[in-house]
């Protein structure tokens, strides 16, 4: 298990006050959650004092909710979706991001660090949504803070850590943790684990963080939660590395990415889809957090480029490794017959030869090398299965008759896996029985070859197989293009929906949105038995502005009133423009007295903010009707109608005032269930 930092040393570092720590609203949130008698309402009130955190919290909740449910738009809903532990750690992570965007360590790239942590967080969330090893909202926070040990060292020892980072450029073969250990007698892995422990992360999280960079050394049992979390952290970290790599370097990293993903039983297609989703979320979050992000092609495209680059290399021959590829421009002699190399436009394939006869493997290998393919060998069916899943060849040449696992059994087993279904399989046999060949095709074999092998016929069958493989690759690319188009279409549809629900003049939601939202808040009020209030606001004498000054001035008046109203409302209130000069405000969790106080702030804000137009000043005012839900009301329309009645009364009383037709006496605001 882990070798944690000496507790005395950590307490000394903590006592220095220099370790990164939460501040402001985040600290208040963390302290409140630690109190046993704290409530969601208390927490919501603290959160609403920080509009930036409100936006990030709701964004995080919507990331978990997915596209199949109504979008979350209030703090209360976000709290219910995320839960207190995740809110606590989100507050912690976002507070550190805000407070430590830069620092004194010149060699530490703070912007790259934080945008990398964001990718790390989003990747952890996406991975655990598939593995179910932990709650995705908690692993988002874990990913955001998993590298906090590096930030801590840059904060504690800015000059010295800058020198260590410079040494990583000079001594590329020496791990960063070794250089840190030599300089500070501790490293970022130990420090991160200790800090997460101190912040209250459970052991199931803070211990795997120590092993995130080297999960194979953890000793965790395969398939255990600790194993899955440690390897998920490793995969998420590598996804961040790929995203932040130089454009030309990314294709070279794809093989390693797929190898790490395979430890979690993710095939390359699944890894590519996961990473594409992470990149889309990264770009959306980057805008919200003011972090730089990069445009990255689809990962399937990066993988194809990586394969092409690998195919262009000429590795040294080694037993059990990829064989040397003959340059396409060369020719070779085999058995006295000239063999043509691959045409320049045809890329070489990764081929796995599975046969228990070494001489037969050597013969086939020589043919394959001659025409430019890359070759791996397996001496039995079991090894062939393992190598096929690990190296993912495009084509396999398999002997039918082998001890323990026959070629037919190997084919059946491969066809039951997602990776194996895409491999073109050619089986070698000395049997010419038609029934046996039919059996082979029915079990997933694509082609067959009679023994003894004729090199020219084998080369011809390889070319035929390659045509099928190219068609499959084109189909995969088309599917990827369709998936990407579908994702872009979904984004466009969401934007169109936003436009359909938005008033273009004021930027407020429109009447359609307001009606839907009132119904949502009505249901929440019914479920929680919390109060709900509304205000109907009307601009006094608005027709006069249009008639006297023109519609341009009328529009300017509406925009000015909208800005004053928005500035006077609370973070939890929802305002919409429902008519020409009429606005509706929805006030969740608000009784009549609080709604009246809020309405007075709105009225005063409009009255005290005149509009300067072409050398003249226009004074404006509004009349406001206020209502709160009571036991008589049976539907949302009744609540709005009551506020309308109050507005009518305010106008009859002389305008520029607030009115209600309800009593201020205390009583039940929501019917009992």
Nearest to 250 by CA among 299, 315, 194: 299
Question: Would you give the end-to-end CA distance of the chain in angstroms?
Answer: 53
Q: For strand 611-613 and strand 616-618, is the pairing parallel, antiparallel, or unpaired?
A: antiparallel
pLDDT digits (tens, 9 = 90+) for 284-338: 888 888 889 999 999 998 988 887 766 654 334 444 443 333 333 333 333 334 3
CATH number at residue 187: 1.10.3210.10
Domain end among 455, 475, 495: 475
Q: Are 531 and 631 within one domain? A: yes
Domain enclosing residue 69, as ranges: 20-99
Whole-angstrom Cα distance, residue 570 to residue 605? Answer: 13
Q: Are 351 and 299 within one domain? A: no
Whole-angstrom Cα distance, residue 168 to residue 184? Answer: 15
- Cβ neighbours around 277 below 10 Å, total: 17
Whether the Cβ atoms of residue 443 and residue 408 lie closer than 8 Å to each other? yes
Domain end among 42, 73, 99: 99
pLDDT digits (tens, 9 = 90+) for 124-169: 989 998 888 887 778 888 898 899 999 999 999 999 999 989 888 7
Alpha helices in 501-616 (DSSP H): 511-528, 542-549, 551-568, 592-607
Q: Which residues contact 475 (CB under 8 A, 6 or more apart)?
A: none
Per DSSP, the three-state class of 339 is: strand
Q: Which residues contact 31 (CB under 8 A, 6 or more apart)?
A: none
Please tell me the least confidently modeled range out of 107-116, 317-326, 486-495.
317-326
The count of C-alpha atoms lying within 13 angstroms of the C-alpha of 238, restricted to the half-sphere facing its C-beta, is 23
**Per this entry, what is the length of the chain?**
673
Token pair recorded at residue 172: 């590329």
Q: Are 195 and 260 within one domain? A: yes
The domain total for the chain is 4
Assigned domain for 504 exists = no
Assigned domain for 340 exists = yes
Per DSSP, the three-state class of 433 is: coil
Q: For strand 447-450 and strand 424-429, is the pairing parallel, antiparallel, or unpaired?
A: parallel
- Would you place residue 21 in the very low, low, confident or very high pLDDT band (cuts 50, 70, 90)? confident
Q: Are 299 and 317 within one domain? A: no
Assigned domain for 264 exists = yes
The more confident residue out of 50 and 595 is 595
Q: For strand 332-334 and strand 337-339, is the pairing parallel, antiparallel, or unpaired?
A: antiparallel
Q: Are 266 and 133 within one domain? A: yes
Whole-angstrom Cα distance, residue 603 to residue 561? Answer: 10
pLDDT digits (tens, 9 = 90+) for 7-19: 566 677 777 677 7
Q: Are 627 and 603 within one domain? A: yes
Assigned domain for 138 exists = yes
- Residue found by looking up tokens 């039951």 in the block: 416
Whether the Cβ atoms of residue 646 and residue 595 lie closer than 8 Å to each other? no
Assigned domain for 610 exists = yes
Whole-angstrom Cα distance, residue 465 to residue 476? Answer: 17
Q: Are 417 and 458 within one domain? A: yes
Domain end among 56, 82, 99: 99
463-471 — which CB contacts under 8 Å span 24+ positions?
465/395, 465/424, 465/426, 466/346, 466/349, 466/395, 468/424, 469/349, 469/394, 469/395, 469/424
Q: What is the pLDDT of residue 310?
A: 63
pLDDT digits (tens, 9 = 90+) for 542-599: 988 888 888 888 899 999 999 999 888 887 888 999 888 999 999 998 999 999 999 9
- Residue found by looking up tokens 């750690």 in the block: 89
Per DSSP, the three-state class of 172 is: coil
Q: What is the pLDDT of residue 147?
A: 92
Q: Are 196 and 226 within one domain? A: yes
Q: Which residues contact 240 (CB under 8 A, 6 or more apart)?
A: 116, 117, 119, 120, 123
Q: Are 553 and 605 within one domain? A: yes
Nearest to 293 by CA among 118, 428, 98: 118
- Cβ neighbours around 566 below 10 Å, total: 17
Q: Are 85 and 107 within one domain? A: no
């Amino acid at each position: 298990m882990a070798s944690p930092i000496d507790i005395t040393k950590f307490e000394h570092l903590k006592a220095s006050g220099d370790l990164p720590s939460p501040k402001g609203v985040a600290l208040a949130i963390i302290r409140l959650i630690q109190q046993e008698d704290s409530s969601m309402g208390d927490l919501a009130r603290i959160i609403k004092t920080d509009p930036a955190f409100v936006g990030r919290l709701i964004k995080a909740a919507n990331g978990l909710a997915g596209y199949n449910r109504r979008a979350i738009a209030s703090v209360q809903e976000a709290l219910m979706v995320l839960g207190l532990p995740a809110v606590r750690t989100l507050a912690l992570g976002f507070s550190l991001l805000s407070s430590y965007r830069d620092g004194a360590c010149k060699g530490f790239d703070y912007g790259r660090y934080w945008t990398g942590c964001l990718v790390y967080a989003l990747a952890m969330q996406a991975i655990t949504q598939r593995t179910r090893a932990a709650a995705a909202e908690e692993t988002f926070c874990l990913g955001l803070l998993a590298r906090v040990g590096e930030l801590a060292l840059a904060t504690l020892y800015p000059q010295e850590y800058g020198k260590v980072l410079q040494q990583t450029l000079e001594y590329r073969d020496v791990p960063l943790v070794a250089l840190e250990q030599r300089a500070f007698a501790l490293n970022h892995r130990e420090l991160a684990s200790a800090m997460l422990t101190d912040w209250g992360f459970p052991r199931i999280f803070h211990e795997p963080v120590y092993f995130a960079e080297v999960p194979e050394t953890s000793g965790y049992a395969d398939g255990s939660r600790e194993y899955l979390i440690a390897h998920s952290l490793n995969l998420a970290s590598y996804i961040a590395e790929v995203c932040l790599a130089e454009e030309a370097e990314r294709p070279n990293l794809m093989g390693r990415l797929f190898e790490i993903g395979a430890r979690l039983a993710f095939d390359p297609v699944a890894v590519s889809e996961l990473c594409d989703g992470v990149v889309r979320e990264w770009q959306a979050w980057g805008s919200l957090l003011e972090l730089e992000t990069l445009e990255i092609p689809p990962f399937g495209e990066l993988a194809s480029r990586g394969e092409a680059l690998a195919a262009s290399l000429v590795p040294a021959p080694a037993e059990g490794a990829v064989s040397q590829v003959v340059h396409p421009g060369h020719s070779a002699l085999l058995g006295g017959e000239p063999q043509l190399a691959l045409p320049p436009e045809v890329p070489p394939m990764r081929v796995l030869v599975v046969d228990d006869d070494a001489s037969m493997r050597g013969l086939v290998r020589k043919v394959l090398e001659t025409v430019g393919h890359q070759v791996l060998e397996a001496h039995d069916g079991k090894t062939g299965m393992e190598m096929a899943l690990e190296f993912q060849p495009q084509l396999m040449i398999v002997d039918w008759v082998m001890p323990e696992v026959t070629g037919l059994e190997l084919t059946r087993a491969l066809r039951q896996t997602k990776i194996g279904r895409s491999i073109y399989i050619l089986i070698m046999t000395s049997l010419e029985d038609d029934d046996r060949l039919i059996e082979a095709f029915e079990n997933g074999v694509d082609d067959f070859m009679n023994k003894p092998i004729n090199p020219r016929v084998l080369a011809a069958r390889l070319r035929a197989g390659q045509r099928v493989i190219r068609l499959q690759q084109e189909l995969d690319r088309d599917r990827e293009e369709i998936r990407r188009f579908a994702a872009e279409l979904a984004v466009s549809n969401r934007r169109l929906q936003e436009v359909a629900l938005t008033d273009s003049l004021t930027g407020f939601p429109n009447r359609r949105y307001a009606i839907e939202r009132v119904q949502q808040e009505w249901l929440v009020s019914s479920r929680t038995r919390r109060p709900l209030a509304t205000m109907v606001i009307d601009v006094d004498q608005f027709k006069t502005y249009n008639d006297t000054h023109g519609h341009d001035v009328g529009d300017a008046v509406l925009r000015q009133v909208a800005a004053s109203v928005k500035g006077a409302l609370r973070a939890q209130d929802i305002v919409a423009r429902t008519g020409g000069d009429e606005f509706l405000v929805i006030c969740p969790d608000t009784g009549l007295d609080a709604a009246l106080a809020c309405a007075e702030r709105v009225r005063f804000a409009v009255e005290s903010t005149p509009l300067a137009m072409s050398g003249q000043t226009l004074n404006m005012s509004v009349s406001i009707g206020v209502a709160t839900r009571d036991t008589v009301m049976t539907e949302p329309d009744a609540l709005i109608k009551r506020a309308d009645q109050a507005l009518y009364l305010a106008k009859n009383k002389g305008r520029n005032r607030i009115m209600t037709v309800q009593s201020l006496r205390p009583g039940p605001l929501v019917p009992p269930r």
